A and B are shown apart, each in its own frame.
Chain A
Amino acid sequence: MNAYQEFSIIGSRPVRPDGLDKVTGRARYGADLNMQGQIYGHIVRSPHAHAIIESIDTSQALATEGVLAVMTGADLPEPGDSVLGGGEGAIALKDLSPMVMSQGKVLFHSQAVAAVAATSPELAAQAAALIEVSYQVLPAVTDMHEALGADAPILHADRFPDGFPEEPTNLAAHISLEVGEPDAAFERADVVIEQTYSVPMCHQGYIEPHACVARVDAAGQVDLWCSTQGHFMVAQYTAALTGIDVGKVKVTASEIGGGFGGKTTVYLEPLAVVLAQKSGRPVKMIMDRGDVFRVTGPAPGAQTRVKLGATQDGQLVAADVECVMDSGAYSGNPASFPAFMATACYKLTDARSTGRAVYTNKPKIHAYRAPSVPQVTLGFELAMTELAAELGMDPLAFRLKNAVEEGDVNMMGAPYNRIGLRECLEVASNHAHYKAPVAEGEGRGVAAGYWINAGLQSSATLNVLSDGHLSILTGSPDIGGSRASMALMAAEVLGIPFEHIHPQIAATDAVGHCDVTGGSRTTLATGQAVIQAAEQCVAEMCRRAAAEWKVEVGVVTWSQGAAHYGEQSLTFEALARRAGTMGGPLTFSSSLTASSAAPSFGVHICDAKVDKETGRTTITRYTTIQDAGKAIHPAYVEGQMQGGAAQGIGWALNEEYLYDENGVLQNAGFLDYRIPVASDLPFIDTVIVEVPNPLHPFGVKGVGEVPIVPPMPAVAEAVYQSAGVRLRDMPLNPPKIVAALQEQ
């Protein structure tokens, strides 16, 4: 049962508090701050994808006039065996430190090997070219299947995943989950299908390159400004990587120009700090767009084998899923999420799910919106559609018959609470889009998707201002409108106008800890901290009003922005104005580790038309349906649904990392890494389904990740229905479709 049942302002669509700054160009992003006396950093990057660094000679660069500092991996502490963070977010320093700057060995092309700071960006670039690095070049492997081969070059000779202790291989991780007896259960199936599906490595494609500026003062205090999804993470990682106490590292988050998981780590920040330490000057660093593609981000490519069995009446009886994922050069832990979540949408008492991660000479992978789940879902959902066709069933009806609901248990043995998959499937079945006939020559696909949704740590501080306005401080960077959500939730509890609320993202020294903006957690978890702090405010204001009226606090009620007792009332504004004489400043903080997270589900419907002569696919109609729990600001929920769908469509049709035989990325720019442009897409219709999350006072569920999960299988099926040829390997670009049609 949700604490709040009726809403006055939640669910409305006010203009976001930071909107004015963002439409007028005033908002400051990562590259938009300059510090007095700053100089500029430039990174020397490896021209090889796999090599041993024999020597680095920085003397010429250091001797250049205007060069104030040079660094190499030797300036970073040895990572040892320490681990940062915990749970799924844990990362070993030995996977982070060399990713930021190589310490003796290069494992991917363009890996940082040294850096220069100089008085101008041009001078820094010129001096960087004077650094002489001698390499012993090793053979590189970029294909994960080849990387598992017997004669593949080994990236990490000292790593042995659990259960594989004999010889070092490129296997980074292996996880296998099983419920019931899947092998026996397949015997009960009338129809069994088994197919293999693949998804290429891709990039989050945020428009803002990584950027930061760092100052280290004479007392060793670090002041760091950067574009990040979590500045507390930046402080923790940077401190660990540089050997500076985290208490001496203050990080201020700039506005962030997109992240989608790609800004949940550090690249430039520790280097800027070291260069600032060495030079005594603030150091600004901006990553080149080509390097953004070459060294940051990528989401793992994956191959998924799916075996499904069902009875003739459409009952799913067994599943066996095996997903191999490309981890890149260091452990990015991509294998566990698909193992946990592959089967999450369906009732399966007998299932096996295996995940493997493989090292390759490519950049370390990072989260990308529902990390690793779109990849495995392409396989599972397309297999569901193929199986429905074999059974002669409508693909949505087949899914409805098997959809999980409250009380069902997932692969991790945890029961679902009140979830909304069935509701989404029902809405999809009855949607005008699904009921409309498929246009001549077009095809239609549907798919469902799941994301677990994170809770994690959040904090908020509310300061009541003397005129009755309110400032909200949180530590969650606002990547897509979360200030508006925070203001709406505070306004709902307090009953004051939305426009009187001023949410801000505070630096690490000004608010309690917040984990990264990621995992669809901010509106839920940071929002819950705001709600709790606002409830404290109401309680205190009622207490003060009761004291004023000399009544028991229990008889005072709070509604419409005022405390009431009988005929008497005291407004929020009056209590704010008189705070000094009624008990002092009104400041409230709340911190929590959210245990209220609940999974979200979505269903997408895609119509596409394939030009069978050229192989080009046009998406002609697209509808997304998603359970948002309770939509705080529906326009931004729709925005998440539309944006995720667009990213998934891009991944399905054109986006992929292309490497040459030397491990050099061939399409490191927006010209040839083809994210969808405005003319590639139709309007993307949205239906928000609201099945309240019973664990959250407002019923909120995270919404950001799910929308990227269903598009690939939905598009792939629409392409099949239009072109008449079944493709199971993304992307479905024109050459691939034409080749398949010709083969047919």
Chain B
Amino acid sequence: MSIQEFVAPHSLSEAKGFLSDGAAASVLAGGTDLLVGVRLGTRNPERVVDLKKIPELTAISIDAEAVHIGAAASAFSILHDSDVPSFFPGFAEALDLIGSTQIQGRCSAGGNLCNASPAADSIPALIANGAQCLITGPAGDHQMPVEDFVVGPSKNALKEGELLVALILPRPSPQTADAYLRLTPRTEMDIAVAGVGVSLTLDENATCTAARVSIGAVAPTALLVEAAGAALVGTQLDAAAIEAAVAAARQSACPISDKRGTSEYRTHVVGVLVARAIAQAQARIVEAVS
């Protein structure tokens, strides 16, 4: 490995210093992408900046408005040491699908986002839930929607010296639920061939009043398919509405053919998953009411 320096700052300001003095630095949260990249020769940092000693980056807090997840908090701690899964079962399922138990012990939602893989499981779930990125940098703090954060395969919107601090998921309004489904050939240990995150809100008459549909692994970045959400709003999630959402998702998909699946298959199956994820989110709302 080419890594020449390892630092573990205890504060954001200290971390920013390590990231902005010109050294080829990579941040380390869970390391499950970074260290694989170093091993395979695709990542070549001289300095590694471990973020896990910075309190803001591993904290998970829930207030009246939102759920705040430190960008370096591990999937395992989000899943098992916090109430996040009760608010966002779909997002939790997405985290639970990343790699193995061992990988989840290390990998972070922030890292999954920053790594910006088109097939990342947590990104469609975050987009569906309207999550925001809290970013700090030389110019201070700012926020950005997750769907704008990933700008291309392995490319995120962070500028020189900037750092993702936390993910902020607005607390779901009443009668809201999310779902995340993906397709992999195996049950576990695979990269999504297609992934779908959905968040729905229903009124007391079971009419959909808000919907966000996000698709992954079928385009250079995870996409928010606004037309799919729009097709659902105002409906009772009848077959025609779901079919329209499915069609919109397939329309937005522009997948590649590779070792993990053909373009035709990905386009087909993303629609199947959209329909199933809508049904699952709807069932969650109905179940919570009854």
- A–B touching in complex (CB under 8 Å): yes
Binding site for B on A (CB under 8 A): 122, 290, 613-616, 653-654, 658, 666-667, 670-672, 674, 676-677, 679-680, 733-735, 738-739, 742
Known contacts A672-B260, A735-B261, A735-B262; A613 and B1 CB within 8 A of each other: no
Task: Find out whether the CB atom of A677 lies under 8 angstroms from the CB atom of B188.
Answer: yes
Among A290, A679, A733, A742, contact of B188 (Cβ-Cβ < 8 Å): A679
Q: Which residue of B lies closest to A681 (CB)?
A: B187
Task: Find out whether the CB atom of B265 lies under 8 angstroms from the CB atom of A739.
Answer: yes
21 A-B residue pairs with CB within 8 Å: A122-B1, A290-B40, A614-B269, A614-B272, A615-B269, A616-B183, A616-B185, A666-B258, A666-B259, A671-B189, A671-B190, A672-B191, A672-B259, A672-B260, A676-B186, A677-B188, A679-B187, A679-B188, A734-B193, A738-B269, A742-B268
Tell me whether B160 is interfacial, beta carbon within 8 Å: no
Complex Cα–Cα for A734 and B260 (A): 10
CB of B43 to closest CB in A, whole Å: 16
Task: Find out whether the CB atom of B264 lies under 8 angstroms from the CB atom of A739.
Answer: yes
A671 / chain B contacts, CB cutoff of 8 Å: 189-191
Q: How large is the interface on B (under 10, 10 to 19, 20 to 34, 35 or more residues)?
A: 20 to 34
CB of A79 to closest CB in B, whole Å: 33
Known contacts A735-B265, A738-B265; A667 and B186 CB within 8 A of each other: no
Complex Cα–Cα for A658 and B183 (A): 20
Task: Find out whether the CB atom of A653 lies under 8 angstroms from the CB atom of B185.
Answer: yes
Task: Find out whether the CB atom of B186 lies under 8 angstroms from the CB atom of A680.
Answer: yes
CB of B3 to closest CB in A, whole Å: 11
CB of A109 to closest CB in B, whole Å: 15
Complex Cα–Cα for A666 and B257 (A): 13
Complex Cα–Cα for A671 and B99 (A): 9
A666 / chain B contacts, CB cutoff of 8 Å: 258-259
Task: Find out whether the CB atom of B185 lies under 8 angstroms from the CB atom of A677.
Answer: no
Q: List the 9 closest pairs (A to B, CB-CB), nearest first.
A: A735-B265, A679-B187, A613-B272, A666-B259, A654-B185, A658-B259, A679-B188, A735-B262, A677-B189
B264 / chain A contacts, CB cutoff of 8 Å: 735, 739
Task: Find out whether the CB atom of A674 lies under 8 angstroms from the CB atom of B269.
Answer: no
A674 / chain B contacts, CB cutoff of 8 Å: 185-186, 189-190
CB of A563 to closest CB in B, whole Å: 56
CB of A289 to closest CB in B, whole Å: 9
Known contacts A614-B272, A671-B191, A677-B188; A734 and B183 CB within 8 A of each other: yes
Task: Find out whether the CB atom of A677 lies under 8 angstroms from the CB atom of B187.
Answer: yes
Complex Cα–Cα for A380 and B206 (A): 56
Task: Find out whether the CB atom of B186 lies under 8 angstroms from the CB atom of A677.
Answer: yes
Task: Find out whether the CB atom of B186 lies under 8 angstroms from the CB atom of A614.
Answer: no
**B237-290 interface (Cβ within 8 A of A):** 258-262, 264-265, 268-269, 272-273
Complex Cα–Cα for A670 and B186 (A): 12
Q: Which residue of A lies closest to B260 (CB)?
A: A672
A679 / chain B contacts, CB cutoff of 8 Å: 186-188
Question: Which among A614, A653, A672, A734 has the greatest number of chain B C-beta atoms within 10 A?
Answer: A614
A735 / chain B contacts, CB cutoff of 8 Å: 261-262, 264-265
Complex Cα–Cα for A493 and B12 (A): 73
Q: Which residue of A lies closest to B189 (CB)?
A: A677
Interface mask (B183-205 → A, CB under 8 Å = 1, otherwise 0):
10111111101000000000000
Interface mask (B208-236 → A, CB under 8 Å = 1, otherwise 0):
00000000000000000000000000000
CB of B283 to closest CB in A, whole Å: 18
Complex Cα–Cα for A614 and B1 (A): 40
Among B189, B191, B268, contact of A738 (Cβ-Cβ < 8 Å): B268
Q: Which residue of B lies closest to A653 (CB)?
A: B185
CB of A212 to closest CB in B, whole Å: 21
Q: Which residue of B lies closest to A654 (CB)?
A: B185
A672 / chain B contacts, CB cutoff of 8 Å: 191, 259-260
Task: Find out whether the CB atom of A614 lies under 8 angstroms from the CB atom of B183.
Answer: yes
Complex Cα–Cα for A613 and B189 (A): 22
**B162-197 interface (Cβ within 8 A of A):** 183, 185-191, 193
